[in-house]
Amino acid sequence: MGKPVFYINGKFVEENEASISIMDHGFLYGDGIFEAFRAYKGRIFQFNEHMNRLYDSAKIIALNIPLSKEEFKKSTVVVYVVPLPGMKKDRSIRIIISSYQRPSACILPGSSKMTQYINLILARMEAKARGVDDALLLDTRGFVSEGPGWNIFLVKDRTVITPSIASSILVGITRNVMIRLFKELNYTVEERDVVVSELFTADEIFGTGTGTEITPVIEVNGRKIGEGKPGPVTNRIDEKFKEFKKDNGTPVYE
């Protein structure tokens, strides 16, 4: 892992040189948006999809971006670059169902990638305090929502199930790719409300995200999921995803 690199207002700087004004509105009040990209061998994965979500996030909180998408691609204000590990089959995680919930869309729009991450941070802290790897949050109705920075998928027989946008989730870029790839593999895909009991009866569970790609979940609240190891469907979609990302990157602008 190399040192993080920041690109701010036309200059590459190290972390200790990257700074913003103490009067910055996002720093004072937490109203801001961001986007995370992943690059493979110099090519940004799903670049247009990430840019579209960035601009949608801005529209939701009435934030004006004074650049077109194409201008933004060539003149980014801040870039934070750090190497990330790929998915390993031994990266299976154990999770808990958090006591914290994802707020409803009338409280905080979940479809906007905003800087309001405090309840996700608290959920992850709770998981660490209980000796597991991560947490899963429910929505305010009691249905399964998402993890801190990742979407969840369940496999039951040949049906793949994931919470819908009504469950206060961020509509993940990797999540959308998974749905597309599963349909290409002729799996039935359901986007709907998911109840907690479905977690315990699932054959397999895995999470998806830009930073983590695909992460098998082998335990929820101390209960083993399936065989307690990455299942065949998880492994199959991981291989399919590896094939997909080879041909779906945008060269980094020089």
Q: Tell me which residues are annotated as active site.
A: 113
Question: Residue 161 burial by CB count (10 A; 0-12/13-18/19+): exposed, middle or buried?
Answer: buried
Report the candidate in 175, 169, 181, 247 with the shortest Cα–Cα distance to residue 215. Answer: 175
- Give the residue carrying structure tokens 């359901």: 190
Q: Apex CA 243: angle with CA 239 and CA 244, to 5°?
A: 115
249 within 8 A of 43, measured Cβ to Cβ: yes
What length does the chain have?
254
Written in H, E and C, the secondary structure of 124-136 is HHHHHHCCCCEEE
Give the Cα separation of 108 and 168 in Å (integer): 9
* Phi (first) and psi of residue 31, to 5 degrees: -95, 105
Read off the DSSP letter of residue 147: B
* Phi (first) and psi of residue 219, to 5 degrees: -155, 135
Q: Which token pair is 3? A: 């040192």
Neighbours of 166 (CB within 10 A): 16
User: Residue type for 80, please?
Assistant: Y
User: Residue type for 230, please?
Assistant: P
